[in-house]
Amino acid sequence: MLPSDPILRKHSVVRSVNRVGTRARTSPTTAVPLGGAAFWLAVVLTGVGSGVSAALLMRLLELVQHLMWPGPSASLLVAAQQAGALRHVLVLVGAGLLTGAGQLLLAGLSSGNGIDITAAIWFTAGRLPSVRTIGSAVLSILLVGMGVSLGREGAPKQAGAVIANLLADRTGLSDEQRRLLVACGAGAGMSAAYGVPLGGALFALEVLRGLLALRLVLPALLASVIAAMIAWVALPDAPTYHIPTFPDSPAIAVWALLFGPIAGLVSVGYVRAIAWADRNKPTHWRRLVAPVLVMGLLGVVSIRFPQLLGNGQDIAQLAFTNQVAPTLLIAILLLKPAATILSVRSGAPGGLFTPSLALGAMLGGVLGHAWSVFWPGAPLGLYAIVGAAAVLAATTQGPISAVVLMIEMTGHARSFIVPVLLAVVTATLVSREIEPRSIYDARLTDDQVQARLASRQPSSV
């Protein structure tokens, strides 16, 4: 944790930059000693703990969602469409009150205004305030279940990271081992929540740890597969998104090449908006007022557009199967990112993975409809899938993990792999040239971002 005093914080960041830069110049970041029974025992127990905690958190999410949005369907969108206008307003105002009270409570547990796994991995060797991080995870699950426009993956990632950090303390691991283990724990939590063991492992290394190396892959894979297997006992072992098998089409391949740079530019704007929102969270008494105003506004708008509620999984599913009218696609393309950005701005904790995926699905769907007027032949739902993958890769700056996650979450590969790869590569190249941050770097200062880039320099192309 950085000191609360601005001057001390500045010097602390400078020292962190110097330490990271020195480490980058003197030793490769892949030289993490992985031998020894203590480390591998910690990896196994991290997978077990991440799987159990993710299953509990997802069950809590389902319970809260059912209580707040009752209905015959498990879909938040369906339940919200059937709910009355008063429920929309009251539930979201309640979410705003809970956000404000939760912020004040969490702020009293430790200094700072937020908990960031990325910053912890890079600048404190993965050390996290355990009680406050778990509190933030539970709060985010409650809010997402109530309909706040944030992702559900933030909570299991935080829980997995805390478990790994505690195990590192118990087993006496070195800082580099702890850093890797905490990344593996966060990835394992995501793996368990979405049922994506390979994607979760790659996400842990490529996005959180910032480095893909064979020696690091093995512990990440072991933790993720254990977590997923344990979670499957309580959670359904099924793809997150159900899509048909799409035929090959030259129209979608050409479109993907043209769409990629557009997705990259949109991703840059989205990442910068998230960074702005995070840096301008309310303080003092505004912590109580701002969330109520923001969530109340979301509740009012959701009466007309219930697709804004939750993480965006339902609307993305409909876009993947071409069940969303073009006019609604345009409206959600504009409103959904705004709802997520304002939710972050209000101080609500939560993930950004599925909201980013939903943004890409809407963008791909809108531009795909326009493209099909000039070159028909490709299924309209395929444009949304390619868009989701491209924006996900560009906003996380994890192209490999994004592609694998899309494959695992849909259970398909060959029917979209070529256009997805074309769009992912071009989108990531454009976004990386303009903006070095990902959505998970949004809380880092400029000095911290430069320090992270410097430490990754030896392994960069």
Domain stop point among 234, 262, 288:
234
Residue 241 belongs to a domain: no
pLDDT at 34: 62
Residue 373: other Cβ atoms inside 10 A: 7
Residue 188 belongs to a domain: yes
What is the rounded CA–CA span in Å between residue 336 and residue 226? 34
Shared domain for 293 and 175, answered yes or no, is no
Give the confidence band of 258 by pLDDT, cuts at 50, 70, 90: very high
Residue 333 belongs to a domain: yes
Contact status, residue 419 vs residue 253, Cβ threshold 8 Å: yes
**What is the DSSP-derived secondary structure letter of residue 223?**
H
Average pLDDT value for the chain: 87
Shared domain for 262 and 159, answered yes or no, is no
pTM of the full structure? 0.88
Tokens of 309: 């509620």
Shared domain for 297 and 423, answered yes or no, is yes
Shared domain for 320 and 413, answered yes or no, is yes
Residue 22 belongs to a domain: no
Instruction: List, for residues 26-50, the tens digit of each pLDDT value.
Output: 334 444 556 688 999 999 999 999 9
Residue 322's region, left for phi above 0, alpha for psi from -120 to 50, else beta, is: left
Shared domain for 219 and 268, answered yes or no, is no
Q: Is the pLDDT of residue 300 over 60?
A: yes
**Is residue 327 helix, strand or coil?**
helix
What is the rounded CA–CA span in Å between residue 50 and residue 87? 34
Nearest to 457 by CA among 23, 7, 8: 23
Shared domain for 44 and 113, answered yes or no, is yes
Contact status, residue 187 vs residue 208, Cβ threshold 8 Å: yes
Shared domain for 167 and 202, answered yes or no, is yes
Give the confidence band of 308 by pLDDT, cuts at 50, 70, 90: very high
- CATH number for the domain spanning 108: value is 1.10.3080.10
pLDDT at 30: 45
Give the confidence band of 245 by pLDDT, cuts at 50, 70, 90: confident
Residue 191 lies in domain: 38-234
Shared domain for 298 and 193, answered yes or no, is no
Instruction: List, for residues 447-457, the tens digit of each pLDDT value.
Output: 777 777 666 55
Q: What are the phi and psi torsion angles at 416 (to 5°)?
A: -140, 5
Residue 185 belongs to a domain: yes
Give the confidence band of 330 by pLDDT, cuts at 50, 70, 90: very high
* CA angle (389 as vertex; 258, 336 as ends), nearest 5: 95
Shared domain for 227 and 315, answered yes or no, is no
pLDDT at 13: 41
Stretch 84-98: mean pLDDT = 96
Instruction: List, for residues 309-318, the tens digit of each pLDDT value.
Output: 999 999 999 9
Shared domain for 314 and 351, answered yes or no, is yes
Residue 3 belongs to a domain: no
What is the rounded CA–CA span in Å between residue 217 and residue 353? 22
Contact status, residue 417 vs residue 208, Cβ threshold 8 Å: no
Instruction: List, for residues 119-137, the tens digit of each pLDDT value.
Output: 888 888 889 888 899 999 9
Shared domain for 332 and 204, answered yes or no, is no
Residue 298 belongs to a domain: yes
Shared domain for 260 and 203, answered yes or no, is no
Q: How many domains does the chain have?
A: 2
Residue 16 belongs to a domain: no
